[in-house]
Every structure is written in C-alpha cells, then in structure tokens.
C-alpha cells in the first residue's frame, strides 16, 4: 500500500500543511526512512530548480541544451548506434512512468551525444573545433545532471499528467526513431536532420514543462 504521506512531502517542505498536519508529518518522518529519503530528494530538486528553472529562466540549462543540440546536428552514425529510442521505448513499455521515460531518455541522449563525432562545419565542410566538442560535453553533463535531479519529481505529478507526458514522450520517441531510420537511408538529407533536431528539442521542452509543473504543484 502506498504511503499517503509521500504526496504531502512537498507541502510539508513548503510549509503548506496545517500545524497539526505538520506535526503529524514530522512524527511520521521520524519513523519512515523512505519518506525521509524522498524529502531529501525533493529538497535537492527544489534547490536545483530554483537555481535553474524558476528564478533564472534566461540563464538556465535549457537554452544551452537547445543550442548544443542545434550546434551538434545529428549525424547518421550517431543516431541509431546508441539508439536512444530503442532504450527509452523498451523501458517506457515496462515501467509506465513518465520520469522513468524522462530519465532514460536523457541518459540515453547523454550517451549518444558523448560519443558524437564533431559535426561538420556548415561553411567549410570541415569538422568544427573544440567548441562543438565542449558543447557536446556540456550537453551530456547537463543531461546527466538533469536526469538525476528529475527522479524525485515522480511523486509530484498527478496520474493524468503523468499519462499525458508519457504518451507525448513516447509519440516523439517513435517519431525520432522513424526519422533516424530514414536518415540512415538518406544521410545527406538536411530536411530529415532538421526534423530530428526538432523532435529532440520538443522532447526537452516537454521535460522542462513537466519539471516546472511538478515543482509548481500543490
């Protein structure tokens, strides 16, 4: 049976419980290591989110991630090789939880990006310098950090919202895989590359909004 206090931990942390409920929650935390652990996670996420999402929307990690995606551009070698879609798709079907999808997706993307060859320079046709590589590393690190930080948010979203998000991520994942397959056949097709980048960007936006929604919940 699910612990009813789990979904009230965020309220507790925000001081939104009545005095009586707060005292009861404190007593419960004294005897429940799982809730203590969740509480510590939520605390960590909120700190991280205040820093990255809510307070500084223009300097958070997301624009950097998006820029990095655009700067990198998918290469036909990199996409299906680690196949983020296959990894994420399999676990989605089993776990049926948005955050599992989010975490796996981000981790998989990080894995793929880590091993990306430097993208071709749009003007010279040569591989780019350290900038793109540094962007790739920064992107991978940001995605890994995000994946870790998003985990405790699972308790903060209602089931309908989780369902919506999971469905959207799965839809985008399927589409990415479809485009990636087409790109394998037509590696020079710029239009396909653009659609792939767009689908990645939209996935990240979905995750971003999910994180914001989770943090804004009651």
Partner 1 sequence: MCLSIALSLLLTLPAVQDAPSTERTIDLASGGQLEVNPINKGSVTISGWDREQVSIKAFHSPRIHFEIQASKRGVKVEERRPVRSALEDVRLEIFVPRETRIQVIGRIPRVEVRGVEGSIFVNTNQGDIFVSRAKGSIRLSSSGGKLRLEEVNGTVQLNTTSQGIVVDGLMGSLEAETVSGDIALSGVRSNRVRATSHQGGISFQGRLDQGGLYDFATDKGSLDLILEQPVDATFTVGTVSGDFQCDFPLGGVVPKKGERFTFSVGEGGAQIELLTFQGPIRIRRR
Q: How far apart, in whole angstroms, are the C-alpha atoms of residue 127 and residue 188?
A: 16
59 touches partner 1 by CB under 8 A: no
Q: Where is 68: in which H helix or E strand?
A: helix 61-72
> Of 31, 124, 126, 218, which one interacts with partner 1 (CB under 8 A)?
218
Among 75, 133, 148, 213, binds partner 1 (CB under 8 A): 213
Q: Which stretch binds partner 1 (CB under 8 A): 62-70, 76-84, 110-118, 187-195?
A: 187-195
Pull the structure tokens for residue 80: 């299906």
**Which of 157, 173, 177, 14 minimizes the C-alpha distance to 93?**
173
Asked if 179 is part of the footprint of partner 1 (rule: CB under 8 A), the reply reads yes
3-state class of 15 per DSSP?
coil
Closest approach, Cβ 171 to partner 1, in A, equals 6
| Binding residues among 134-173 for partner 1 as defined by CB under 8 A | 157-158, 160-161, 164-165, 167-168, 171-172
Interface characters, 13-32, with partner 1 (x: CB under 8 A): ---xxx--x--xx-------
Number of helices and strands in the chain (H, E): 10, 0
* Nearer residue to partner 1 within complex by CB, 127 or 216: 216
Give, as one character, the DSSP assignment of residue 118.
Answer: P
Tell the residue number behind the tokens 């394998």, with chain if given.
184
Measured between alpha carbons, how far is 16 from 32 in angstroms, rounded to an integer? 20
The closest alpha carbon to 135, from 194, 198, 72, 77, belongs to 72
Among 78, 117, 92, 71, smallest CA distance to 174 is for: 92
Least distance CB 204 / partner 1 (angstroms): 12
Tell me, by CB under 8 A, how many residues bind partner 1.
41
> Could you say whether residue 188 binds partner 1 (CB under 8 A)?
no
Residues that bind partner 1 (CB under 8 A): 4, 8, 11, 16-18, 21, 24-25, 157-158, 160-161, 164-165, 167-168, 171-172, 175, 179, 182, 186, 189-192, 194-195, 198-199, 202, 205-206, 209-210, 212-213, 216-218
């Amino acid at each position: 049976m699910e612990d009813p206090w789990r979904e009230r931990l965020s309220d507790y942390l925000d001081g939104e419980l009545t005095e009586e409920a707060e005292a009861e929650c404190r007593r419960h935390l004294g005897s429940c290591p799982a809730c203590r652990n969740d509480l510590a996670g939520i605390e960590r996420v909120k700190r991280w989110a205040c820093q990255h999402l809510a307070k500084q929307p223009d300097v958070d990690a997301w624009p950097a991630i998006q820029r990095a995606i655009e700067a990198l551009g998918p290469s036909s070698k990199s996409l299906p090789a680690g196949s983020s879609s296959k990894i994420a798709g399999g676990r989605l079907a089993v776990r049926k939880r948005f955050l599992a999808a989010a975490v796996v997706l981000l981790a998989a993307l990080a894995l793929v990006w880590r091993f990306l060859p430097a993208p071709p320079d749009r003007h010279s046709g040569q591989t780019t310098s350290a900038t793109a590589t540094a962007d790739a590393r920064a992107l991978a690190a940001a995605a890994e950090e995000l994946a870790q930080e998003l985990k405790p948010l699972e308790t903060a979203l209602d089931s309908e919202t989780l369902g919506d998000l999971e469905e959207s991520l799965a839809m985008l994942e399927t589409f990415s895989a479809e485009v990636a397959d087409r790109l394998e056949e037509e590696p020079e097709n710029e239009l396909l590359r653009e659609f792939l980048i767009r689908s990645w960007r939209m996935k990240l936006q979905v995750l971003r909004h999910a994180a914001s929604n989770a943090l804004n919940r009651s």
